[in-house]
Amino acid sequence: MRDQLLATLQARLFTPGGVLEPEALDEVERLLDHLPVPDGADGQVLHTAGLVYWLRATALPAAREEDRERAALLLMPLYLSQPDTLPDEVRSWFDTLQLVGEELQHAYLETLAEVARFVLRRSADRGRGEDAPWAVALLRMVASKLPVGYPYRLVVLCDLGYALLLGLPAELPGDVPPELDEAVAVLREAFDGMPEGDAHRARCANGLALAVRAKAVATRDPALLSQSAAFSRIAVDAATSQDGNLPQMLADLGATLMLLARTGDGPAAEEAVTVLGRAMQLTPDPVRRQELLRRLAAAELLRTGRAGPVAPRPPLSVDTRRQMEEMTALFRRVIPATGDGVPDEPDNLLAVMLRLIGIGPSEGEGQSAQLMDGMARLLRTSSGPQLEELVDELVGRHLGRLSPEDRLRAVLRGPADPPEDRTDHAELDELLDLHERLLREVPGDSPEHSMLELGLLLTQFLRARQGGPDERSFALLPRMMETTQAIMARADLSASMLGSMTQMSQAVVSPFETLAVFEDAVRRHRERLAAAPDDLTALKELSLTLFQRYQLTYEEPAYREAVRLARQVVARDLTQAAWVVCVWGSAMRLRAMGAVPDEGDELGSGLARMASYQAAAAADGGDPAAALEALEEGRGRMLTSAVNARVELENLRAADAGLAARFVAVRERVRPLLENPGREAGPGEQAALRAVTEEWTEVSGRIQALPEFGRFLMPLPLGVPDLRPVAADGPVVVVNVNRRRCDALILTTDGVRLVPLPYLRAAELADQAEAFHDAVQAAHASSGLLAGQAERVLLDTLGWLWDVVAEPVLGELGLTESPEGLLRPRLWWSPTGPLTFLPLHAAGRPDVPGASVLDRVVPSYTPTLRALMHSRSRAVPAARSGLSVAMPVTPGQAPLPRTAAEAVEVASLVRGATLVGPDASREAVLAALPRAAVAHFACHAGSDPRDPSASHLLLHDGPLGLSEIGRLQLDGAELAYLSACATARGGSSLADEAIHLASAFQLAGYGQAVATLWEIGDDVAARTAAAFHRELGAALDAPERLPGARAMHAVTRRLREAMPDRPSAWAAFLHAGA
């Protein structure tokens, strides 16, 4: 290329007007890329390029000053060393110098330094540092040959410092490289030797400031940052308004001041705003002005906010950075495209999976939605200005969600420490060994071999990334993708079909139904194994079922038992353990992605734990919006998935009833195929699954082609802007219980407020909840002094809840008094973890007027914000009729004599059907519910804290379970009153999933539910029910939503007034929903 350019330009020198053609400038610019050579500057390049610029300067009437300067710069070294190579006309330019001897040698060295500076400027302008080592070598040589004390030597040292800085990597390692120390040394020597008023002093001071700043960042030394700022101020003061470098010097000073401000130096932020504002005014280039504007906005945030010090992230190695770039190029080919007018998205597994989890085009404003949208765009964006603009945009969108006082802390504080990595590395190594052993045993053409091959790669990747991204983990990614594609090709499966399988498993059944299926399968496999302990198939199927249950619920006990059983399968016959090991690996990798439980905290969901950790970390960073969104995404996922599917189907029926009917028909064909977890499907079942999957794929594709249905059955994370309308009728208080910290996150129509709860301790809460319910049982089972002591425990707990949770929340909202005679505001509680088992709605001190939740607000509950949104969306029935169900006598249970009269009275109030005793069969109740806007149940209920899906209402001919209730779709339903035992209490194993009778009725269509947290006596239950329905009164005929919460509030306050010392009687009732 060099020789070709030389030949082309030399021909132009002898062609009239050749150097004046537009192409000549482009050619000479490309030739100058070849100017640096190992032993100095290429003489032929200097000669040819210099003559091009000289001819242009002499031929044009109004020659560009730049042409004259470049001609002199490039030709001067030749004039001083080889003057005979230049035409007479060129030599006459320089003959006035008359240099000889030492002066000539010094002048020649100066010209070489000028050439080095010219090359450096070209490299810096184009963001390239390849020529820096060449310039460093040349300038070192020049500096060594110029005598100490020679004035221009200081300028050479200044240029050498800049060259050394330009050659440094973008991210410095922890140790300061010797080149940086050399840069600081030569720039300081140059600066110290330059007198004030020297034309180069400003540039030299600015270079020294940059070098000291780089060292400060590498060593994390705030004192060096202060020194850097001082040198930058000298540079700015020494520069003149005519100095073209002044805007850049101001920008450099501003950047240093922002770093100082992030260490806690408040005045530095104020100065940064002033300095960057001045830089922007002096910058004519619009692109550069836009960049400065972004910096100025960040500085303004620093000035108006408060922040802690920033924790620098460790740099990535050069090899890791290269592999990341390779993976980015790969992702750009497979990530779903964004923006309008984008061609069809790629149909490969990664693209489909990313669409399923939400990475792709998104209009959501929440942190998750922005992260997913940003991830897709980031991986498809080239480096350089586009990437910077995208990052700025994403950061700006994130900042826009926060209040001014929260913005700085959220952006500038270092990332919060993640939960401790409690992954069992010995188990990881055990699985790696099992995969390798099985791959040697299993036939290479079997499906098991393919899955083991992929499982091995995935587990190796997990093992490699334990210490963060490194070369091994990046190298495994392409192999994983290639193996996955090969497996799909062998099985003749498209990515769309795999995506459809995932959708089907999530959209076909309700969470109550899914859990019931798993529990039934576990029970059957256990019974079979107990009857035949040597039955290897039963052992395998029980282990597989428990692993699959864990992948749904993230329950630690299920995982532990499944692992124990899997090891037994391996010990008995390794060749029979292929599928067990595959599923074990899948569950283990999923477990590693969540939060492995702390000791003594093994009953909750790992996914909910991770969401809680994320919320706590966001609270640490001053970002309450992100904290709220993390909790909303990580808890109640099964219920949320079912609610979303119901809403989507309702919308589809309105848009295309025929397509909706076909979708339902396909869904019903899928249902039986999902009812035998743990069992390896035979050829017939595999064929049936494939056929129905193909039909599902086709129907889903038709649905997604409809306007507004492009994300049918796909998750869409909601952000605070999406969720604010939920608080239209009153604030919603989400309480995050985490061992790191506990907080109340208050959602209002204005945003999210964070209320730290330092005296609520997660480590103690589970024991407190258990002690509370033990006291409830003692209060009901005892009398006299023992019952009184139990009630005292309950009262003390309600007082403690008031002190540590309720009163701080109400105080933050300004609800500090009891508005007697006025309509009390509404408020929704949404607790997490063990707090879900305690009556926040009853928190307070009954002996202190106004010091209770019931005195200040009308409380309700919601398991998630989405659930409340769904409840609000339910239409008010045009006409209300009721259903009253009562079971005075239930075999094996204590009689409830008051329920018959209760049912009759309630039926008279709600004007509906009555089903009592033998008439209250499962069939009769299920047939009557679709006609009942208000449903009232007065019967026994059953529940198991370890198995929440087993909760049920006891009717005449057997239990009516959660799965049957949750499967209902009742268009005219509005309010369910569940006058039964613990109908609002879920299981300890899935506390954050809201698996209980009240939520099942809400999923079925009842936007409101009145339920209980524990068993209530027959007499109190009957009195409360009658009082509640009388309180509703004329509202039954009103066109507005029934005021269930206000009715329950009024009745509960009257109960409390009648028996203030018996919270076991009046604190159990709660209202949930709209």
Query: pLDDT tens digits, residue range 459-492?
Result: 887 776 655 444 555 566 667 666 776 766 666 6
In this structure, what are the phi and psi dihedrals at residue 934, rounded to the nearest 5 degrees? -120, 120
Cα Rg of the chain, angstroms: 37
Range of the domain at 337: 318-401
Mean pLDDT calculated for residue range 179-207: 89
835/886 same-domain check? no
CB-CB neighbours of 463 under 10 Å: 19
Mean pLDDT of the chain: 77
Reported as a single tens digit per residue, the pLDDT across 353-377 is 444 444 444 444 444 444 444 444 4
Read off the DSSP letter of residue 823. Answer: P
pLDDT tens across 38-65, in order?
A: 778 888 888 887 787 777 877 765 556 7
More confident call, 72 vs 717: 72
35: tokens are: 């100017």
d(CA 277, CA 218): 28
Select the more confidently predicted residue: 615 or 500.
615
Considering 861, 878, 904, which residue would you say is the last residue of a domain? Answer: 861
Higher-pLDDT residue of 465, 534: 534
567-590 mean pLDDT: 88
Give the pLDDT band of residue 506 (cuts 50, 70, 90): low
Take residue 972 and report the two structure tokens written for it: 């005219």
Query: Per-residue DSSP letters for 1028-1056?
Result: HHHHHGGGGGSSSPP-HHHHHHHHHHHHH
The better pLDDT of the pair 874, 1006 is held by 1006
Residue 913 predicted with pLDDT over 80: yes
pLDDT of residue 230: 92
**Which range among 172-186, 640-654, 864-878 shows the weakest confidence by mean pLDDT?**
640-654
**Band of residue 522 on the pLDDT scale cut at 50, 70, 90:** confident
Q: Which of the pair, 503 or 384, is modelled with greater confidence? A: 503
Q: How far apart are CA 370 and CA 247, in angstroms?
A: 34
| 803 and 944 within one domain | no
For residue 697, being part of any structural domain is answered with yes
Query: Mean pLDDT across the stretch 1050-1056?
Result: 94
**Residue 182 has what pLDDT?**
92
Domain-embedded: residue 1072: no
230 versus 671: the higher-pLDDT residue is 230
Query: 856 and 872 share a domain?
Result: no
Please name the residues in contact with 415: beta carbons below 8 A apart, sequence gap of 6 or more: 311, 313, 617, 621
Dihedral, CA of residue 424, residue 426, residue 432 and residue 438, to nearest 10: -120
Q: Are residues 683 and 750 in the same domain?
A: no
SS3 715: coil
User: CB–CB of 72/107 below 8 Å?
Assistant: no
Q: What are the tens digits of pLDDT across the range 587-630?
A: 888 777 654 444 444 444 556 677 788 888 888 877 888 888 88
2: exposed, middle or buried (Cβ count in 10 Å: 0-12, 13-18, 19+) = middle
pLDDT in the model for residue 60: 67
- Does a structural domain hold residue 345? yes
Q: Output the pLDDT for position 457.
A: 81
Asked if 36 and 119 touch (Cβ cutoff 8 Å), the reply is yes
- Give the mean model confidence (pLDDT) for residues 82-94: 77
- Is 823 within the bounds of a domain? yes
Indicate the number of domains in the chain: 6
Contacts 24+ apart (CB under 8 A), 330-334: 330/477, 330/478, 330/481, 331/379, 331/380, 332/379, 332/380
**Closest by CA position to 750, among listed 772, 726, 768, 773:** 726
Rounded CA separation 818/810 (Å):
11
pLDDT of residue 325: 53
Mean pLDDT of 1003-1025: 85
In a domain, 683, yes or no: yes
User: What three-state secondary structure class fits 716?
Assistant: coil
* Cα angle, residue 994 at apex, residues 810 and 1071 outer, rounded to 5°: 50
Tell me which of 844, 861, 878 is where a domain ends. Answer: 861
Q: Is 346 helix (H, G, I), strand (E, B) or coil?
A: coil
Helix (H) or strand (E) run with residue 818 in it = none
Do 78 and 13 belong together in one domain?
yes
Q: Judge contact between 159 and 200, C-beta under 8 A.
A: no
In a domain, 450, yes or no: yes
What pLDDT score was predicted for residue 854? 95
In this structure, the answer to whether residues 979 and 845 fall within a common structural domain is no
440 burial level (CB within 10 Å; 0-12, 13-18, 19+)? exposed
pLDDT at 568: 93
What backbone phi and psi angles, to 5 degrees, belong to 129? -120, 15
CATH number of the domain within which 754 lies: 3.30.420
Q: List pLDDT tens digits, range 253-281.
A: 998 998 888 777 778 888 988 888 888 87
Q: Do 846 and 735 have their domain in common?
A: yes
**Residue at 359 is within a domain:** yes
Sign of CA dihedral 397, 398, 401, 402: negative
The whole-angstrom separation of Cα 269 and Cα 447 is 62
**CA–CA dist 642, 660 (Å, integer):** 16
Q: What is the CATH number of the domain that holds 913?
A: 3.40.50.1460
Q: pLDDT category, 717, cuts 50, 70, 90? A: low
Residue of 797, 977, 961, 999 lying closest to 884 (CA atoms): 977
Contact between 498 and 485 under an 8 Å Cβ cutoff? The reply is no
Question: Are residue 536 and residue 446 in the same domain, yes or no?
Answer: yes
Pairing verdict, β 912-916 and 882-886:
parallel
Rounded to an integer, the average pLDDT of 249-254 is: 91
C-alpha to C-alpha distance for 66 and 259, rounded to whole angstroms: 37
Q: Decide if pLDDT at 393 tops 70.
A: no
Q: What is the DSSP letter of 384?
A: S
Q: Do residues 795 and 880 both lie within one domain? A: no
Say what percent of the chain tops pLDDT 90.
15
In a domain, 554, yes or no: yes
The two tokens of residue 479 are: 């192999």
**Tens of pLDDT, residues 642-670:** 667 777 777 888 888 888 888 888 877 77
Q: Which of 859, 876, 880, 368 is nearest to 625 (CA)?
A: 368
In this structure, are strands 934-938 and 882-886 parallel, antiparallel, or unpaired?
parallel
pLDDT band at residue 310 under the 50/70/90 scheme: very low
Q: Does residue 445 sit in the same domain as residue 395?
A: no
pTM of the model: 0.59
Per-residue pLDDT, averaged over 109-132, amounts to: 77
Give φ, ψ of 738 to 5 degrees: -145, 145
**Percent of the chain with pLDDT strictly greater than 70:** 74
pLDDT exceeds cutoff 90 at 744: yes
- Please, which residues bridge with residue 40 across strands? 37
- First-to-last alpha carbon distance for the chain, in angstroms, is 75
Q: Do 585 and 460 have their domain in common? A: yes
pLDDT at position 347 over 80: no
Least confident of 15-19, 177-181, 967-971: 15-19
Q: Are residues 1033 and 897 in the same domain?
A: yes
For the ranges 16-20, 371-375, 981-985, the lowest mean pLDDT is seen at 371-375
Tens of pLDDT along 817-861?
888 767 899 999 999 888 988 999 999 987 888 899 999 999 999
Domain boundary pick from 601, 627, 654: 601
- In the prediction, which pLDDT does 828 show? 96
